[in-house]
Homo-oligomer: A and B are copies of this chain.
Amino acid sequence: MIIISTLPNREDAKKIARTLVEKRLVACAWVLGEIQSFYIWKDQLQEDEETVLVLKVPKEKASEAINELRNLHPYEVPEIIAVEADYVLPEYLKWAKEVCEK
Protein backbone atom coordinates (compact mmCIF):
# COMPACT_ATOMS: atom_id res chain seq x y z
CA MET A 1 0.00 0.00 0.00
CA ILE A 2 1.05 3.57 -0.69
CA ILE A 3 -0.13 5.96 2.04
CA ILE A 4 -0.06 9.71 1.34
CA SER A 5 -0.46 12.57 3.82
CA THR A 6 0.33 16.27 3.95
CA LEU A 7 2.25 17.82 6.84
CA PRO A 8 2.86 21.50 7.66
CA ASN A 9 6.65 21.28 7.17
CA ARG A 10 9.54 18.92 6.43
CA GLU A 11 10.63 18.62 10.08
CA ASP A 12 7.24 17.31 11.19
CA ALA A 13 7.19 14.96 8.21
CA LYS A 14 10.70 13.66 8.95
CA LYS A 15 9.89 13.11 12.64
CA ILE A 16 6.84 10.98 11.75
CA ALA A 17 8.79 9.16 9.03
CA ARG A 18 11.54 8.17 11.49
CA THR A 19 9.04 7.02 14.12
CA LEU A 20 7.01 4.84 11.74
CA VAL A 21 10.11 3.29 10.16
CA GLU A 22 11.87 2.66 13.49
CA LYS A 23 8.69 1.07 14.91
CA ARG A 24 8.66 -1.16 11.76
CA LEU A 25 5.14 0.02 11.00
CA VAL A 26 6.17 0.95 7.42
CA ALA A 27 8.92 -0.41 5.18
CA CYS A 28 9.96 2.97 3.82
CA ALA A 29 8.96 6.63 3.95
CA TRP A 30 9.56 9.54 1.61
CA VAL A 31 9.45 13.20 2.49
CA LEU A 32 8.93 15.19 -0.71
CA GLY A 33 9.98 18.82 -1.27
CA GLU A 34 7.68 21.80 -0.54
CA ILE A 35 4.33 21.87 -2.30
CA GLN A 36 1.65 24.53 -2.56
CA SER A 37 -1.74 23.42 -1.21
CA PHE A 38 -5.05 25.02 -2.14
CA TYR A 39 -8.28 24.29 -0.24
CA ILE A 40 -11.33 25.96 1.32
CA TRP A 41 -11.34 26.32 5.13
CA LYS A 42 -14.16 28.23 6.85
CA ASP A 43 -15.39 29.43 3.42
CA GLN A 44 -12.04 31.02 2.55
CA LEU A 45 -9.53 29.88 -0.12
CA GLN A 46 -6.34 28.85 1.68
CA GLU A 47 -2.90 28.70 0.00
CA ASP A 48 -0.35 26.97 2.24
CA GLU A 49 3.11 25.61 1.84
CA GLU A 50 3.06 22.00 2.97
CA THR A 51 5.09 18.82 2.60
CA VAL A 52 3.97 15.41 1.38
CA LEU A 53 4.78 12.25 3.33
CA VAL A 54 4.60 9.01 1.31
CA LEU A 55 4.68 5.68 3.17
CA LYS A 56 5.08 2.20 1.65
CA VAL A 57 3.78 -0.71 3.73
CA PRO A 58 2.67 -4.32 3.09
CA LYS A 59 -1.12 -4.31 2.72
CA GLU A 60 -1.74 -6.38 5.85
CA LYS A 61 0.09 -3.78 7.98
CA ALA A 62 -1.57 -0.70 6.46
CA SER A 63 -4.27 -0.10 9.07
CA GLU A 64 -1.77 -0.23 11.93
CA ALA A 65 0.44 2.30 10.13
CA ILE A 66 -2.55 4.57 9.38
CA ASN A 67 -3.67 4.51 13.04
CA GLU A 68 -0.21 5.47 14.29
CA LEU A 69 0.08 8.18 11.60
CA ARG A 70 -3.28 9.54 12.74
CA ASN A 71 -2.05 9.66 16.39
CA LEU A 72 1.20 11.40 15.48
CA HIS A 73 -0.32 13.87 13.01
CA PRO A 74 -0.51 17.55 14.09
CA TYR A 75 -3.70 18.34 12.12
CA GLU A 76 -7.21 18.07 13.53
CA VAL A 77 -8.49 16.58 10.22
CA PRO A 78 -5.41 15.27 8.38
CA GLU A 79 -5.43 14.20 4.75
CA ILE A 80 -4.62 10.47 4.86
CA ILE A 81 -5.21 8.60 1.59
CA ALA A 82 -4.02 5.13 0.59
CA VAL A 83 -3.76 3.40 -2.78
CA GLU A 84 -3.08 -0.28 -3.28
CA ALA A 85 -0.21 -1.13 -5.63
CA ASP A 86 -1.17 -3.34 -8.58
CA TYR A 87 2.43 -4.53 -8.91
CA VAL A 88 5.43 -4.60 -6.56
CA LEU A 89 8.82 -6.00 -7.57
CA PRO A 90 8.85 -9.41 -5.77
CA GLU A 91 12.31 -8.96 -4.21
CA TYR A 92 11.29 -5.53 -2.91
CA LEU A 93 8.02 -6.87 -1.48
CA LYS A 94 9.93 -9.69 0.25
CA TRP A 95 12.31 -7.17 1.81
CA ALA A 96 9.40 -4.90 2.88
CA LYS A 97 7.60 -7.79 4.60
CA GLU A 98 10.75 -8.89 6.42
CA VAL A 99 11.45 -5.34 7.62
CA CYS A 100 7.88 -4.90 8.94
CA GLU A 101 7.83 -8.28 10.69
CA LYS A 102 10.73 -7.66 13.07
Contact B79 A82 (CB under 8 A): no
Contact A29 B21 (CB under 8 A): no
Grouping DSSP codes into helix (H, G, I), strand (E, B) and loop, the A interface class, with mixed when no group exceeds half, is strand
Contact A56 B79 (CB under 8 A): yes
Contact A37 B33 (CB under 8 A): no
A7 close to B (CB within 8 Å):
no
Residue of B nearest to A69 (CB): B89
Q: Which of A30-81 contact B (CB under 8 A)?
A: 30-40, 45, 47, 50, 52, 56, 62, 66, 70, 77-81
- Which residues of chain B come closer than 8 Å to A97, judged between CB atoms? none
Which residue of B34, B39, B91 is within 8 Å of A27 (Cβ)? B39
Query: Which residues of A come within 8 Å of B, CB atoms?
Result: 1-3, 6, 10, 14, 17-18, 21-22, 24, 27-40, 45, 47, 50, 52, 56, 62, 66, 70, 77-89, 91-92, 95, 99
